[in-house]
Amino acid sequence: MEHAEPHADAPDTRPDEDLVPEAPAAPTRQPLAEVQPSIALGPLDGRYRPAVAPLVDHLSEAALNRERVHVEVEWLIHLTSHHVVPGAPTLSSEEREYLRAVVTSFDGGTVAELAATERVTAHDVKAVEYLLKERLSAAPAALGRDTVLPQVSELVHFACTSEDINNLSYALMVQGAVRQVWLPAARALVDQVAAMAHANAAVPMLARTHGQPATPTTLGKELAVLAHRLRRQLRRIEGAEYLGKINGATGTYGAHLAAVPTADWVRVSRTFVEHLGLTWNPLTTQIESHDWQAELYADLSRFNRVLHNLATDMWTYISMGYFAQVRGQGTVGSSTMPHKVNPIRFENAEANLEISCALLDTLGATLVTSRLQRDLTDSTTQRNIGPAVGHSLLALDNVRRGLAGLDVDAAAMERDLDANWEVLGEAVQSAMRAAGVAGVPGMDQPYERLKELTRGRRITGDDLRAFVADLGLPQDVAARLSAMTPASYTGAAAELVRFLDS
């Protein structure tokens, strides 16, 4: 399409071709994927690594392989200790110790060895089986004497499908991550909020419902509500069940009974799963159904969402001046405004909680479905348990650090209360209702009369006291209302905080 010629009187706005720079040639960049040590793709293994590093022991790929080795070792020991397979030798304590040392000595070299094997097998669990068989072959040299360990090599992974090993490994991994890492961090946070609630139980604060001034409360009571909600979710998470199964390719013990029909395989399975510290699931397909995971992740998500509520409330209180943020002199609040201290800990927590919930919700929704007796959707899905829990753990760290950097400004709350005497309208109209029921004359339409006095306008203490004096209330009631201030109108708020300890 041709461009129309500009109007004769219009200025020529076309660029001068002599002034237009040539586009620079795109430089050849160093591929960052080739930099050593490897650069993390995600923030949990990069920027935020210090806050989430403890989860690597539980929810990383290396941790998964270590738990697989652990389960395979314990299955071998279980079979031989209980004489399940006829003719299999009983292992000595030294031989059992040697096998368990494969787990306790699992290190970077083992990780690399497994990776090299998996490149050949293209199967992760088979690589673990071959690793353990290699250790059995090496046992005579390692122990410096003859041993029966090479003879039991074919009891490694005996009658197992990969999912027998994987479901138990994931259950142990998640159990360890939650109980040893996430729960201690969550409890510490909730205890911190509870301590703040107790310390500020009697500090009066204007409440806001729908963002509007409402019946006063105390800072401590509002913090106690959040601590109480979080503790309730912690109790659910603390009571979580971690299920496991070891029953073969379709959950029927088919290979087990074909190989050793005289063994009580159901009992062997149950005692083994319980020996690992898990709850035995008697009815499964090839996979353990993962329902327990969905239940746990729903509870973790709910805790996250309550914590998100805390973060947004604290952010709002900071914006209202109810808290002063304490920062070291060397830190930067804003890159351009020197006076600012931004509530970044709470904002970062919000974002990480949202990411964590999104992942946990996806895990819970996906893991409960498996086509017929098995599909592989759970394999990739479960590898994202680490990021899901990691973003929650990072949020816990952010909120704890954010709370630690706050000072309560009671004077700011007092000023806010003193500017909103109209909130006492509720108290006066309620007292009028009670007096009217008791037969005091002139107490008709209390709500409407207070509405006329207070709605859409600011009133002072003098205005309210004058209104009360003209009502004809009993002397003691009028005196009580006249002595009331917004700061004293907090009901039982301070006493309610004690329920945190019940």
Q: In the structure encoding, which two tokens stand for residue 122, read together?
A: 């293209």
Q: In the structure encoding, which two tokens stand for residue 329, read together?
A: 């002199």
Residues 6+ apart with CB under 8 A from 279: 241, 242, 243, 244, 273, 292
3-state secondary structure 323-346: EEECCCCCCCCCCCCCCCCCCHHH
Distance between CA atoms of 488 and 205, rounded to whole angstroms? Answer: 10
Q: What is the pLDDT of residues 188-199, one digit of tens each?
A: 999 999 999 999
- Residues 482, 468: contact at Cβ < 8 Å? yes
- Its pTM stands at 0.91
CA angle 364, 370, 375 (to 5 degrees): 120
- Residues 449, 471: contact at Cβ < 8 Å? no
Domains and CATH numbers, the chain: 56-155 (1.10.275.10), 162-328+341-410 (1.20.200.10), 421-485 (1.10.40.30)
Q: What is the pLDDT of residues 310-324, one digit of tens each?
A: 999 999 999 999 999
Q: What is the pLDDT of residues 240-277, one digit of tens each?
A: 999 999 999 999 999 999 999 999 999 999 999 999 99
Query: 25 falls in which pLDDT band (50, 70, 90)?
Result: confident
Which residue in 92, 137, 319, 334 is the catalytic one? 334
The CB-side HSE value for 492 (13 A sphere, CA atoms) comes to 4
The one-character DSSP state at 268 is H
Angle between helical axes of 124-137 and 108-121 (0-180°, round to 10): 120
Q: What is the pLDDT of residues 362-417, one digit of tens each?
A: 999 999 999 999 998 999 999 999 999 999 999 999 999 999 999 999 999 999 99
Residues 6+ apart with CB under 8 A from 432: 443, 446, 449, 450, 471, 473
Distance between CA atoms of 427 and 433, rounded to whole angstroms? Answer: 10
Distance between CA atoms of 398 and 344, rounded to whole angstroms? Answer: 9
Which residue in 3, 7, 210, 339 is the catalytic one? 210
Distance between CA atoms of 495 and 189, rounded to whole angstroms? Answer: 22
334 part of the active site: yes
End-to-end CA distance of the chain: 79
Distance between CA atoms of 397 and 291, rounded to whole angstroms? Answer: 29
93 part of the active site: no
Distance between CA atoms of 474 and 435, rounded to whole angstroms? Answer: 8
Q: What is the pLDDT of residues 327-360, one digit of tens each?
A: 554 455 555 555 557 899 999 999 999 999 999 9
Distance between CA atoms of 468 and 435, rounded to whole angstroms? Answer: 13
Q: What is the pLDDT of residues 34-74, one digit of tens each?
A: 999 989 999 999 999 999 999 999 999 999 999 999 999 99
Q: Is 160 exposed, middle or buried (0-12, 13-18, 19+ CB in 10 A)?
A: buried
The one-character DSSP state at 243 is E
3-state secondary structure 346-404: HHHHHHHHHHHHHHHHHHHHHHCCCCCCCCCHHHHHHCCHHHHHHHHHHHHHHHHHHHH
